[in-house]
Amino acid sequence: MARLHADLIPALLDFIASPHADEAAFNALALRLFAHQSQHNTAYARFCRARGRTPATVRHWHEIPAVPVNAFKELTLSCVPVAQCARVFTTSGTTREVKGQHFHPDLDVWNASMRRHFADCVGPLPMRMGILFPDETEMPHSSLAHYLQLALQEHGLSGSRHAWNAEGVDSLAVLALVREAQATGEPLALLGATYSFVHLMDTLAPNPLDLRLPPGSWLLDTGGFKGRSREVPIDAFYDQLSATFGVSRAHCLNMYGMTELSTQCYDAGNASVPSFKRTPHWMRTRAVDPLTGLPVPAGQPGILVHTDLANFNSVTTLLTEDVGLVSEGGFQLLGRAEGAQAKGCSLAVEDFVQAARA
Amino acid sequence: MNTLRIGHLPGLNEADLCWQDLPGLQLPSGHCLQVPTLSPAQLQALCAQLRGPGRAALRALPVREIVQAIDASVQQLLDVRSEEHQCLLHWLPLVTGFSAEMVRINLNATLRTYRAPQLQRFIAEDFGSADMLDAFVPRPTGGLTHAEGAALITHVWAGNVPGLALWSLVSGLLVKAGNLGKVSQGEPVLASVFARTLARIAPVLGSAMAVLWWERQEQALAQSAWAASDVVLAFGGDAALADLQRQMPAGVRFLPHGHKISFGAVGREALSASRAPRSARLAAEDLLRHEQQGCYSPQCFYVERGGQVSPQEFAERLAAELQQLATRFPRPQPGLAEATQIAQWRSRFEWDAQVTLIGQPEDGWCVASHAEPVALAPGPLHRCVQVVAIDALDALAPWLQERQPQLQTVGLAVAPERLQPLALRLAACGVTRICALGQMPLPAPGWHNDGRPSLLDLVNLVDLEASAETLAEGLAGYEI
């Protein structure tokens, strides 16, 4: 395992730092990580054997067995013993639900991945920031809390801060940030969970105030509503966001991320939806038939499978429950694979859908 | 354009109706299902018709004639040469996703349970004889009793299993109630075709029932339906039923039928070398019929150890049967969401050393064979089933405990001396129907769906006590 840090980690950091990567370089590193994970990640090794996929038989990164995201709830997917992992991120969910766990020996690669793609896709930077989410000390196991804190540390101008209190989004703190921006004319960025923005707008709605931000401001939401706020059709959400803060929809960014990944994807605004999410050169996304794992014909929706090379300690390749359209350099997210109308009067359908959603 | 209009609305002027496409269906291009959009005033007028003149005319008919009318309509639907039969064969596969072959087989089996002899048994089951619905009948303990049907029953149907709607609609007609049926988006066709056929053959019955659809969000329509009803009989998931329950005005009798889970139990007697193949065949047939989507369809088979054929071998035989049946009845292509669920379900077992997964992802079926007992749990359907080895079927109780409120059918294959003791144990666990393996999706006519009487819940039992008779005797004109 010591070889890991001597060898694989620097290679990975170099890869992320390089300007781009071609198919051959991506494939080589993906296969190297597969060899590593199918040797040291015990649960994954069993899974790969059952599928008849081993480093001896896998020649292309497409052939790396994709792990369904739910497996993170039931299994320990880590090459390094979890006791030696500095950080564990857990999926959100109520206390009653089983949470998925993603173990990280350290966060060097995770942070490098975040920094690089954030800087490439989000901006302008640096910027005064308001974070509509708890900070890292309050939610040490939230990858989103860590992500937002990192954004603030790396790119936040003085005066950037969290606007959150025990009740949730601190609307007075947001108001203060907005008033400062309006007074100075300096742009402001607000970043947070999608549902935080909905809560904020709902709180402010009864007393309409002028919250329009100076030119150059942008907004970044992520994660969807997750049943924590009312569900808003996505077009209406960006209309309202744009109207409330006076930021054009082209500057309302959305980040696609998952606890089970170590890399995020970004669109270039949401002037029209669904937006196109860009993957960085160390992550590739395919659309597959979930049963066979085979790619769907070009231009057809399929279930998204991500191969994220920054996921060096767990598994690189994940079968999500997201339906999407894939094209060069990224994908369009069409929704969750849960829209199926419950059929029949058998318990299974509804119950199973709920379990899978948890 | 191949368009079918859903609905039957006695008393409403055809010219006043607006039609919309039924949302949520994925039909082949060129096909379209339309439903009427009613205003609250139209729905109120419809309810008044059903409760009032419609029901009054139905109430004047003896049950015998109602039975004959239903029988004649069912014969019409069963007749392969009839337009109605062809209409069902054309539309049901399109809306339900079942294969045409599966629809054909199930439709006949379902419709056959609504012919006159079966309907008579249906009534005998709850009332002894039909007389109680027509008049007052003497009680052994003195006095008389009459079963008076609700003035208006609203039926809220769910799911895509054809025939579910028929069961409750026919029950409502047999008790001479007015009936307002809200079809499900998953299978709106059969109830509508049946209602129109019945109305043509027996206009009196047609005037006492309506079939329609409204958006769940249409609170005004829903509220006027509930307000006009004495009984609301609803099918659906727990969340939908809880939501309906909250909407019920005080005094409305609410009869919820939630989603259920069913399983098979195979005793070691059914696992001899000569009997095991048949047992596996019956299990496979139970699984296939209605594509596992019925409340009575098995999601799991508990298989007893100690037979000549081990549970693991039974699982393999079941897999072979499924493979064979798949050639005649190919599995309908699951959608992306369903396929994702199947993939998640399969992969969970791939990680588990106690489970042998039989069948490849592309096979169109999958058997997960468990070496150790596990709790009954729902799966993703689509011919995905668990076979669970257990030392003795007598020891099933702890594995069913968690699902107690949701249990429904058990398909049993055991020796006669074990039948009743085992059935009693299962009853204590919450099971409400026990039948032969191979008969799970074919409940007997007059069965107590979810353990409830079919007809008794839809009536008031009206007592005419002996004292009234005695007093009346003294008031006769011929009394001196």
For B161-176, the pLDDT digits (tens) are: 878 889 899 999 999 9
Which pLDDT belongs to residue A93?
A: 63
- Tell me the average pLDDT across B281-298: 92
Query: Which among B434, B357, B340, B363 is positioned nearest to B393, based on CA atoms?
Result: B434
CB-based contact B218:B247 (threshold 8 Å): no
Question: For residue A96, what pLDDT is reported?
Answer: 60
Largest CA distance in chain B: 91
3-class DSSP state of A53: coil
Rounded to an integer, the average pLDDT of B432-460 is 92
CB B462 within 8 A of CB B127: no
Q: Are A279 and A298 in contact (CB under 8 A)?
A: no
Average pLDDT over residues B285-305: 93
Distance CA(A324)–CA(A274), nearest Å, equals 10
Alpha-carbon distance B349 to nearest alpha carbon in chain A (angstroms): 10
CA pair distance B412, B262, nearest whole angstrom: 11
Q: Which residue has the tokens 């904020």?
A: A200
CB–CB contacts below 8 A, A to B: 145
Of the listed ranges A71-80, B250-259, B385-394, B396-405, the one predicted with least confidence: A71-80
> Which parts of chain A fold into alpha helices (H)?
2-3, 9-17, 23-40, 42-50, 71-74, 108-121, 143-155, 171-184, 194-204, 234-245, 348-357
Contact between A243 and A236 (Cβ < 8 Å): no
Burial class (CB in 10 A: 0-12, 13-18, 19+), A111: middle
pLDDT at B360: 87
Chain B residues inside the 8 Å CB shell of A356: 340-341, 344
| pLDDT at residue number B430 | 96
Asked whether the beta carbons of residue B295 and residue A345 sit closer than 8 angstroms, the reply is yes
- Say what angle helices A194-204 and A171-184 make with each other, to 10 degrees: 80
- Check pLDDT > 80 for residue B28: yes
Contact B351 A349 (CB under 8 A): no
What are the residues whose beta carbons fall under 8 Å from the beta carbon of B371, sequence distance 6 or more?
Answer: B311, B312, B354, B355, B356, B389
User: Percent of chain B beyond pLDDT 70?
Assistant: 100
pLDDT of residue A231: 80
Distance CA B421, CA B418 (A): 6
Check if A347 contacts B (Cβ < 8 Å): yes
Inter-chain touch A347–B259, beta carbons under 8 Å: yes
Rounded to a whole number of angstroms, the distance from the CA of A263 to the nearest CA of chain B is 23
**Over 50: is that where the pLDDT of A349 sits?**
no
**Is residue A5's pLDDT more than 70?**
no
Task: Find chain B residues with C-beta within 8 A of A338's C-beta.
Answer: 337
CB spacing of B340 vs A301 below 8 angstroms:
no
Partner residue facing A344 (CB), from B238, B294, B351: B294
- A292: nearest CA partner in chain B: B361
- Separation in Å, CA of A68 to nearest CA in chain B: 6
Nearest residue on chain B to A350, judged by CA atoms? B237
Phi, psi dihedrals of residue B388, rounded to the nearest 5°: -120, 120
Question: Does residue A355 surpass a pLDDT of 60?
Answer: no
DSSP assignment, residue A136?
A: T
* Least-confidence region, from A1-15, A60-74, B97-111, B195-209: A1-15
pLDDT given for residue A356 in this prediction: 39
User: Quick check: B163 contacting A, CB < 8 Å?
Assistant: no
* Predicted confidence band of residue B50 (pLDDT cuts 50, 70, 90): very high
pTM: 0.82
